[in-house]
Amino acid sequence: MLLEGPKASGKTFTAARFTASQTYLDTDLKALEAVRIDPSIVLNGEAPQLVDEWQLEATSVWNHVRSEVNRRGAAGQFVLTGSAVPADDARRHTGAGRFARLTMRTMSLYESDHSSGAMSLASLLNGERATSGATLSVDAVAALIVRGGWPLNLHLPLDAAAEANADYLLNIAEVDVSRLDGVRRSPAIVARLLQALARNVAMEQKAARLAAQVEGEGGTVARSTVHTYLEALERLMVVETQPAWSTHLRSRSTLRTAARTHFVDPSLAAAALGAGPERLLSDPNYLGLLFESLVVRDLRVYGSPLDATIHHYRDSDGLEVDTIVQLRDGRWAAFEVKLGGEKAVEDAAANLLRFSSKVDTSKMGDPAALGVITASGYGYTRPDGVVVLPIGALGP
């Protein structure tokens, strides 16, 4: 099994519980050196064997594990965990039928016990409709965004959790981006890029705009530099794109194809700008963007067992939909994300119905659900069929 995800998301702790032997390549330098010389010296522990941060010697580990699995002819031999994608992505080498892949994200609100899960995404996609009482407040959601879904932060005071998130980004800028592939990168540019990404979270990223915001005392920053640094952050699983939905329309509108960018956890965006709950609450527009990132994170977690992908929609008429959940069997659902308020929900529902009328359902099928995900309030189905789902009731 290949288990990937951002640092500090709980991969190693989880994998260690389900393996009989463990090898930690990031802390055991002798083991790392031995793998470089002869992988069989180290990768011979009792099965299943955990190989943590396998990407530090990616090609050797991958090829040896692949060969050893073939030789043993048995399942469940190795668990590889990694918090970065190798430069020469060893995962592209054949592994069909040998490796199961799983992504571990930061904890959703349901996993951290901040959502009741009364309104299940899986049930919603199956046509079921549920209700929910009042759950979280907007104030509580702002605090949860700042804290993040990091397991080690769950029981820390909020200020300490925010400081830990700031330290996380500092380590990314000063250590991880250069350790990634041995290419020296400017910590100052990384830090400014993280801030620029935070200011533009949940938006379609344009290299020119980011480059302008990253410019510092050293002068201009080329778009190519921004692309290179952004690729490094993606490989480190610090940021993640939300692709545009490719669909069939009844109208002549043209689909926009640019992806949106999110931090893997919205707490990192808040940390990049030094924003606590009070500051977020004083800027509802920005809080709304971070809330959208929180929803995308949780939908990715809840959609993972369903093999779902999460998209966004925008067309040439200016019509946008925040999230589209697409299943492999063709089912899909569309959601708008709003902090709350009767008018905001009303407008979002109207937008979803307009969007649904543009989709060619003869080719795409009818939506399994149209919904407005809110930060607070009650969960119910409106007379027009649009479901209102508070994030504190949404679950897998």
For residue 259, the 8-state DSSP code is: P
Q: SS3 for 252-264, per residue?
A: CCCECCCCEEEEC
For residue 28, the 8-state DSSP code is: -
Residue 250 has what pLDDT? 82
- Report the percentage of the chain scoring pLDDT > 70: 96
Residue 324 has what pLDDT? 98
Residue 205: band (very low, low, confident or very high) from pLDDT cuts 50, 70, 90: confident
- Cα 348 from Cα 346, distance rounded (Å): 5
Query: Which residues make Cβ contacts (< 8 Å) with residue 375, sequence separation at least 6?
Result: 136, 137, 138, 141, 291, 338, 339, 340, 390, 391
Residue 121: band (very low, low, confident or very high) from pLDDT cuts 50, 70, 90: very high
Whether 219 shows a pLDDT value over 80: the answer reads: no
Considering the chain, what is the average pLDDT of its residues? 94
Q: State the CB neighbour count (10 A cutoff) for residue 114.
A: 20
Sign of the C-alpha dihedral computed for residues 145, 204, 2 and 176 taken in this order = negative
Q: Which residues pair with 203 in a beta bridge?
A: 261
Whether 93 shows a pLDDT value over 60: the answer reads: no
Query: In this predicted structure, which of 182-186, 334-338, 357-361 has the lowest mean pLDDT?
Result: 182-186
The tens digit of pLDDT for each residue in 371-387 reads 999 999 999 999 999 99
Task: Collect contacts of 88-94 with beta carbons under 8 A, ≥24 apart.
Answer: 88/58, 88/59, 89/58, 90/55, 90/58, 90/59, 90/61, 90/62, 90/63, 91/2, 91/62, 93/59, 93/62, 93/63, 93/66, 94/66
Rounded to two decimals, the pTM is: 0.95
Q: Which residues pair with 314 in a beta bridge?
A: 320
- Cα 186 from Cα 183, distance rounded (Å): 10
The tens digit of pLDDT for each residue in 3-45 reads 999 999 999 999 999 999 999 999 999 999 999 999 999 999 9
Query: Which residues make Cβ contacts (< 8 Å) with residue 308, sequence separation at least 6?
Result: 299, 325, 326, 327
CA triple 87-88-89, angle to 5 deg: 90
The tens digit of pLDDT for each residue in 279-302 reads 999 999 999 999 999 999 999 999
The tens digit of pLDDT for each residue in 316-330 reads 999 999 999 999 999
Residue 284 has what pLDDT? 98
Choice between 68 and 94, residue whose per-residue pLDDT is larger: 68
Q: What is the dihedral of CA 9, 13, 19, 24, to 10 degrees?
A: 90
Among 334, 330, 376, smallest CA distance to 351 is for 334
Residue 311 structure tokens: 């998209």
Residue 81: band (very low, low, confident or very high) from pLDDT cuts 50, 70, 90: very high
Give CATH superfamily name and number for 2-103: P-loop containing nucleotide triphosphate hydrolases (3.40.50.300)
Residue 376 structure tokens: 């607070």
Domain range summary for the chain, segments of one domain joined by +: 2-103, 119-395
- Cα 159 from Cα 226, distance rounded (Å): 31
- Cα 301 from Cα 314, distance rounded (Å): 23
Mean pLDDT of 342-356: 98
Whether 48 shows a pLDDT value over 60: the answer reads: yes
- Cα 213 from Cα 193, distance rounded (Å): 8
Residue 141: band (very low, low, confident or very high) from pLDDT cuts 50, 70, 90: very high
One-letter amino acid for residue 70 of the chain? N
Q: State the CB neighbour count (10 A cutoff) for residue 219.
A: 6
- Cα 169 from Cα 104, distance rounded (Å): 19
Whether 334 shows a pLDDT value over 60: the answer reads: yes
Residue 90 has what pLDDT? 56
Residue 95: band (very low, low, confident or very high) from pLDDT cuts 50, 70, 90: low
Residue 249 has what pLDDT? 84
Residue 140 structure tokens: 């509580």
- Cα 1 from Cα 109, distance rounded (Å): 26
Q: Would you give the end-to-end CA distance of the chain in angstroms?
A: 23
- Cα 143 from Cα 140, distance rounded (Å): 5
Whether the bond between 48 and the residue before it is cis, its omega within 30 degrees of 0, is: yes
- Cα 302 from Cα 77, distance rounded (Å): 28
Mean pLDDT of 104-129: 98
Choice between 205 and 387, residue whose per-residue pLDDT is larger: 387
Residue 247 has what pLDDT? 86
